[in-house]
Amino acid sequence: MRVVLDTSILVAAARSKKGTSFALVSTIPSPQYQICLSVGLYCEWLSVLQRPNNIPIDLTVEDVHGFLRFLASQAHLQNISFLWRPFLSDSNDDMILELAVAARCPYILTHNVKDFAGSDQFGVQALTPRKFLETLNNPS
């Protein structure tokens, strides 16, 4: 199954090794899911994660770039040939929804579930990392 990781997941994983975001990111590559990526989302990851307040104290900007290159190497790179903006209230979230639809992802993993209200119209559900891990461990 393919999923999209919202930038909020990577920020949370960088800030704490104790949370579900870190647990989720630590499982990549996973036999249960594959992350999907577009050029736009990768650029957002780079922009946000190299901000000084998002870089863990024991890491450098080069370490962050290396980690993002690793994630990109594990991701399905998806071209997006359509736009229907605006659909959501934030154009950055529209970019993520468009990626999920183009890559046929059933889930967007985010800490901002409310920002993706209406995504279910496209067959995409926004889940927190905790809910996604529960779904993986307890399929119904």
The single-letter DSSP state of residue 18 is S
pLDDT over 90 at 85, yes or no: no
Q: Where in the chain are the domains?
A: 2-137
pLDDT confidence tier of residue 122, bands split at 50, 70 and 90: very high
What pLDDT score was predicted for residue 138?
Answer: 85
Residue type at 32 in one-letter notation: Q
pTM over 0.85: yes
Rounded Cα distance, 38 and 80, in Å: 8
Cα torsion 13, 43, 107, 8: sign: positive
In CATH, which of 3.40.50.1010, 3.40.50.300, 3.90.1010.10, 3.30.310.10 is domain 2-137? 3.40.50.1010
Q: 93-105: per-residue pLDDT in tens?
A: 999 999 999 999 9
Q: Which of 140, 127, 97 is nearest to 20 (CA)?
A: 127
Task: For residue 94, give Cα distances in angstroms to 71, 88, 90.
Answer: 21, 6, 6
> Which parts of the chain fold into alpha helices (H)?
7-15, 20-26, 39-49, 61-74, 91-102, 129-137
Helix (H) or strand (E) holding 3: strand 2-5
What percentage of the chain carries pLDDT values higher than 90? 85
Residue where the block lists tokens 């461990």: 137
